[in-house]
Structure 1
Amino acid sequence: MNQFDKLYIPGKMTLGIEFPLDNDWSSDGNRKRLEDNRPFGVPDISNHLALAKQIDEAGFAALWLRDVPVYDPNFGDGAQLFDTLPYLGYLSAATKNILLGTAAIVLPLQQPIKLAKAAATIENLSDSRLLLGLGLGDRPVEFPMYNIDYNKRPEIFRDNLDIIKEAWKTNSNLKSKYDFLNSGIEVYPKPKKDIPLVVAGHSGQSIDWIAKNAQAWFNYPRPVAETLENRKYWCSALYDEDQAAKPYISAIHLNLDPNDNATFKPHRFGGTVGINHLTKYLKEYENVGVNHMAINLRKSETPVNEAIAKIKEIVLPDFVTI
């Protein structure tokens, strides 16, 4: 079985978990944050390894990490604190089955040769479990720090991706990208298998470009009805560009209510619901064509380890598991 098949089974939906593995946006989590004197959005990741192993062993399809180069209090989000690429290498050794995805690496801030080498290294060491999600970046403060023009992000995104793809090829022609090079220059290691590329949002590109150049489209949390329209938009682009079906990925911010029988109440990017009604809620997304759903538990009033255990026991059996 191709590793990508763990995430994508046509007509079905798989489930993943999104870092950070902390409920620091819940009432209890916020109280602990204040006690620890942490800024808002800086999670407690002291239990990250045990939780990552629990999620892997539970049978979830993917673990998703975000790329936040610097903490900006105006955004109030430090992601999982650890730098994404070395942390992926660590997680590849600490887990066995789960896919490891980025949602998403800020591609315009990356040196493409370095990213090509790092991604191929992780792909080799993880038994081809890497999903390379790429995004444009939306935090203006970061770009001057990297001496990069914020307004040129879409162009840089395309150029960097072209270089990465060329670097991964056997007998690559990097001279075509860097005219000062001698022929025969190579970047090693090469990926053992194709690394699935996942574009987050539009990343400054047309939907037709994404349909041709990515293996999946990762979209931000949306209500069910809006998700259906976005899924139709994706399928139309694939058809227009003569592409085979490719997965539509989304995410939700889930507050798993300690009351198991609590019915669903919406909030921005997701909602609050008890475990006994969570399957019904997620099935609504499966029914409109979402192929993979990444669950973010930062708002969960149920502690993360307990939420994972409940979802494993009650919800996962109704969805595709690895």
Structure 2
Amino acid sequence: MKNFDKLYRPGKMTLGIEFPLDNDWSLAGDKKRRETGRPFGIPDMTNHLELVQQADAAGFASVWVREVPVYDPNFGDGAQLFDTIGYLGYLSAATQHILLGTAAIVSPLHQPIHLAKAAATIENLSKGRFLLGLGLGDRPVEFPMYKIAYEERPKLFRKHLKIMQEAWKLESDLTDFYPFLNPGVDVYPKPENPIPLVVAGHSGQSIDWIAKEANGWFNYPRTPEETYLQQKKWCEALYDNDQACKPYISAFHLNLLTDDNADFRPHRFGGAIGVNKLTELLKRYEEAGVNHMALHLRKSDTPVKEALNKIAEIVLPHFKKSTVTSKEMSVG
């Protein structure tokens, strides 16, 4: 798949960034949020374009956006605020190299023909840099608004994917799903390159189904030890279903401390650490089998622009494709 090797090198790990590009969950960021009257979990997106272009120029492999249709104060998280598909269209024109991923679009909430067309549009506009991450959705408030039964989510997830995959074919036949259609009714544009499918969590499916149907598995943040056990299950499922190696993807909620030499202090979904100790920590995840790690900076004591600079200078060179030796390339 075009550009997918920017994300995936067997036995190695690449680094990405997860939106929103604001440190509104840090002490300083939370103080600023209160002063500006924003609800908890609503980030400041003022500098988002400058920051994503900074990540692009620095050589991060990907940026990931999430879909949050409505803000629920019980969750306290508005993600990156902007509509997922519309925003990716904007980012595809504003960036050059970085992969654009969704982690994840809530598939059961979407009309699948419309989502198939939108995904193919982003794939075309980005010249093959789109990664389609789909998820089940876990916010009960959303489903009654869409008049969708919460318990129907796993079935809808599978059905919608089949419809999208059919719509992407050069000569699709949608009559199995929509018997009333006349012959020749089709969906355009078609993807210029196959769209990599990444499943977030289990999405109500078995790990065997994910191994067969997806091109990668985006799993929730865990400790290196817990991650190793999850990645082992993934490799076993791939082997049992006669599948080639596929990337195991995860995220890390990083509080990049202002003390560059600070030791690691774990917190939920990640931890606090100085940049000079970060490479060693991420290498533990690489050894645990993570192929791609998305760094989430909302808790960072270091402002996002400075954090990206530090990570790009000190950490990223250890995880970029350009650091692969000729010997590694011949083996892999």
**Fold-level similarity (TM above 0.5):** yes
TM-score, structure 2 length as denominator? 0.96
Aligned to 1:296: 296
The Cα offsets for residues 86-105 of structure 1, whole Å up to 9 and x where unpaired, read as 00000000000000000000
Q: Quick one: which amino acid aligns to residue 310 of structure 2? A: K
Give the distance between the partners of 1:248 and 1:292, measured in 2 at CA: 7
Equivalent positions of 1:155-194 (< 5 A) are 155-194=155-194
For 1:283, what is the secondary structure of its paired residue? helix
Q: Which residue of 1 aligns with 2:64?
A: 64
- Residue 154 (structure 1) aligned with residue 174 (structure 2): no
In the aligned structure 1, how far is the partner of 2:294 from the partner of 2:239? 25
Question: Distance in 2 between the 1:23 and 1:65 partners?
Answer: 16
- Residue 22 of structure 1 aligns to a residue whose secondary structure is coil
The answer to whether the aligner puts 1:129 opposite 2:141 as a matched pair is no
Within 2, Cα distance between the matches of 1:169 and 1:320?
34
Per-residue deviation, 1:2: 2.9
Q: Which amino acid in the other structure matches residue 164 of structure 1?
A: M
Q: SS of the residue aligned with 1:266?
A: strand
Aligned residue number for residue 28 of structure 2: 28
What do the CA deviations read for 1:5-30 (whole angstroms, capped 9, x no partner)? 00001110000000000000000000
* 1:221-271 deviation digits (Å, cap 9, x = unpaired): 001110000000000100111000000000000000000000001000000
Distance 1:42 1:296 in 2: 15
SS of alignment partner, residue 132 of structure 1: strand
What residue is the counterpart of 2:284 in the other structure?
284
Matches within 5 A, 1:107-256: 107-256=107-256
Distance 1:33 1:240 in 2: 49
Does 1:311 find its partner at 2:306? no
Write the deviation string for residues 4-63 of structure 1: whole angstroms up to 9, x where unpaired.
000001110000000000000000000000000000000000000000100000000000
Query: How far apart, CA to CA, are the structure 1 residues paired with 2:119 and 2:67?
Result: 14
| Moved >3 Å (runs of 4+) | none
CA distance in 2, matches of 1:246, 1:180: 38
Cα distance in 2 between the residues matched to 1:159 and 1:218: 20
C-alpha contact (below 8 Å) 1:12/1:320 kept by paired residues: no
Matched, 1:37 2:55: no
The whole-number CA distance in structure 2 between the counterparts of 1:51 and 1:317 is: 19
For the aligned residue pairs, the C-alpha RMSD in angstroms reads 0.8
Is there any run of 5+ residues in structure 2 with no aligned partner, and where?
Answer: 323-332
Deviation at 1:321, TM superposition (A): 4.1
Query: Following the alignment from structure 1 to structure 2, what is the Cα–Cα distance between the partners of residues 240 and 222?
Result: 24
- TM-score for both structures, normalised by structure 1: 0.99
User: Kindly, what percent of the aligned residue pairs are identical?
Assistant: 70
State the SS of the aligned residue for 2:294.
strand
Q: Displacement, 1:184?
A: 1.3
Letter of the structure 1 residue corresponding to residue 28 of structure 2 = D
**Greater Cα shift, 65-74 or 1-10:** 1-10
Question: 2: distance between equivalents of 1:52 and 1:61?
Answer: 12
Q: Which amino acid in structure 2 is aligned with residue 137 of structure 1?
A: G
